[in-house]
């Protein structure tokens, strides 16, 4: 696979930095290069050379999402931005890989299954669930959900 055809979104975050180590020849973009929550900016981006979007961007402050400003930020990054990227993936025949979370579930079913209904309990989970729904509109997509991301950055166990 030609790594130069991969676009890593959220490249300055913990997961984005780890993905750059795995795909060192990929194109890396963060907010300063591409504001994925801005539909016009996403539309204007040069998508011609992109075959894979790896979306590592996300508002991940679970407690902060319950505040007024956090709620707005969570929905902007976790839902609206994913919908913007989904439209681009659909229009340009791009495979879209999106990283989500188990917070889209309420925890009553263990282990989680691929066909489990979305049942988020808070704003963070609801905003991520909205993004999960949006990506399903892209014909070529992978939706990955994680419980923990451990690496360089803020970690807790």
Instruction: Tell me the torsion sign for CA atoms 132, 30, 154, 4.
Output: positive
C-alpha–C-alpha distance, residues 73 and 71, integer Å: 6
Catalytic residues: 124
Contact 82, 131 (CB under 8 A): yes
CA gap 8, 55 in Å, rounded: 6
CA atoms within 13 A on the CB side of 33: 12
Cβ-contact 28, 20 below 8 angstroms: yes
Pairing outcome for strands 52-55 and 95-101: parallel
């Amino acid at each position: 696979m030609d790594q130069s055809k991969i676009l890593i979104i959220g490249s300055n975050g913990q997961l984005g930095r780890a993905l750059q180590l795995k795909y060192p020849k990929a194109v890396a973009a963060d907010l300063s290069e591409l504001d994925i929550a801005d539909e016009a900016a996403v539309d204007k981006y040069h998508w011609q050379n992109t075959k894979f979007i790896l979306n590592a961007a996300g508002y991940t402050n679970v407690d902060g999402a319950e505040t007024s400003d956090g709620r707005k930020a969570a929905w902007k990054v976790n839902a609206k931005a994913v919908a913007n990227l989904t439209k681009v993936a659909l229009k340009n025949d791009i495979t879209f890989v999106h990283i989500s979370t188990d917070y889209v579930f309420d925890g009553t079913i263990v282990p989680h299954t691929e066909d489990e209904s979305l049942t988020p309990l808070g704003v963070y989970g609801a905003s991520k669930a909205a993004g999960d729904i949006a990506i399903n509109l892209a014909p070529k997509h992978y939706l990955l959900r994680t419980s923990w991301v451990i690496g360089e950055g803020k970690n807790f166990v």
